[in-house]
């Protein structure tokens, strides 16, 4: 049975691409255009996987990821970061926020840098949630 996948990206073209790949793999996509919208949807929809962009208006993926991984009710949701921001910068930012007293967070389960092929994305989704 298909699972619920939240696609978070401010670019509508990227959301269309990602949701299409999710659907073609038998899962149900839901969408959010920024970190704030995504947080509301995670709370109301409890997705099995979040495909998360980083650089977005209102709230970045970095802050959202941190909120997810420090909240007991959401920390087990799988997160695939899919961004133009490189992994090293993402990890450094989390480290910097930890130093400001935010507490440590684990590395994302999956980190893909844009652009990504549909085949690679599909295979990564399958590996994450079947």
Partner 1 sequence: MIKKILFVTKFEELGFDAIKSLLSLRESGLEHIVFMYVIEREKVAMRRGIGYQKDEEIRLKEAANIRFIDWAERLFEIGMEVGVYIQVGGMAAEVVKAARKEEADLVVIGRSGKSSLEQFYSGSTVTELIRRLPVPTLVYKPVPENPFAFGKPFQRPLLATDWSPASRKAVDYLIGMKPLIEEVRVVHVIDENAIEGPTVMDAQKARKDAKAKMEEICGRFEAAGIDARSHVYVGAPAEGVEKAARECLATMVALGSSSKNRWVERWIGSVPQEIAEKSAYPTLLIPPDRK
Q: What are the residues binding partner 1 (CB under 8 A)? A: 10, 54-60, 62-63, 84-86, 89-90, 92-93, 96-97, 99-100
Q: Judge whether 78 and 48 are in contact, CB under 8 Å.
A: yes
Of 43 and 58, the one with the shorter C-beta distance to partner 1 is 58
How remote is the C-alpha of 107 from its chain's centroid?
12
Structure tokens at 41: 């949807």
User: How far apart (Å, rounded) are the C-alpha atoms in residues 3 and 66?
Assistant: 23
The pair of structure tokens assigned to 129 is: 């949630």
Nearest distance in Å: CB 52, partner 1: 14
Taking the least distance from each CB to partner 1, the nearer of 102 and 130 is 102
52 vs 54 by CB, closer to partner 1: 54
């Amino acid at each position: 049975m298909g699972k619920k996948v939240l696609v978070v990206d401010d670019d509508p073209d990227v959301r269309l691409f990602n949701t299409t790949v999710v659907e073609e793999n038998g899962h149900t996509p839901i969408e959010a255009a920024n970190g704030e919208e995504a947080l509301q949807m995670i709370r109301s929809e409890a997705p099995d996987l979040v495909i998360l962009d980083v650089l977005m208006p209102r709230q970045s993926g970095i802050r959202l990821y941190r909120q997810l991984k420090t909240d007991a009710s959401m920390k087990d949701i799988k997160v695939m970061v899919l961004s133009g921001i490189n992994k090293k910068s993402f990890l450094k930012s989390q480290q910097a926020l930890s130093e400001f007293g935010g507490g440590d967070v684990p590395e994302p389960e999956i980190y893909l840098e844009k652009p990504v092929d549909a085949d690679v994305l599909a295979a990564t989704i399958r590996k994450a949630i079947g």
